[in-house]
Amino acid sequence: MIALDTNVLVYAHRMDSAWNERAARCVRALAEGRTPWAIPWPCIHEFYAVVTHPRIYDPASTVDQAIEQIEVWLESPSVVLLSEGDSYWDALKGTITAARISGAQVHDARVAALCRVHGVRELWTADRDFSRFGDLRTSNPLV
């Protein structure tokens, strides 16, 4: 299963992004396909925070636009939402310890731990910071 990081979701949504066309094409292919694909819940939260933030985008996406976009993705019959369960803490603790994570880096550690717990084979991201999680395969679908 492929999971999507926040940046791919943001680029797919924001028409003013230089990566919009490629990102939208990648997300659309997953959403319209039959193979399960995933979005970690923390990435949905972060997507909403980023696209509606007026200091990041001028103009920012409206609340309605951001919610509508999320709902479109959630309507895909093949999407799997990655959330915390009983084994999550052990996975997060192992991720934090192995990668020596502290501070704001915990967001990426949460995403990596959720991917592990749910058997994600690859995380699509434009963020090279995920390389610190050696056992999580990543690729940038935009290049």
Q: Flag whether 46 is in a domain.
A: yes
Please count the other Cβ atoms lying within 10 Å of the Cβ belonging to residue 59: 7
Q: Which residues form the domain of 34? A: 2-83+122-129
Q: What is the pLDDT of residue 51?
A: 98
pLDDT per residue as tens digits for the range 26-79 = 999 999 999 999 999 999 999 999 999 999 999 999 999 999 999 999 999 999
Q: Flag whether 31 is in a domain.
A: yes
Task: Look up the CATH number of the domain holding residue 20.
Answer: 3.40.50.1010
Q: What is the pLDDT of residue 8?
A: 98
Domains in the chain: how many in total?
1
Opening angle at CA 27, ends 3 and 116, nearest 5: 0
**Overall pTM > 0.85:** yes
Q: Flag whether 35 is in a domain.
A: yes
Q: Flag whether 140 is in a domain.
A: no
Q: Flag whether 95 is in a domain.
A: no
Q: Flag whether 44 is in a domain.
A: yes
Tokens of 7: 């940046």
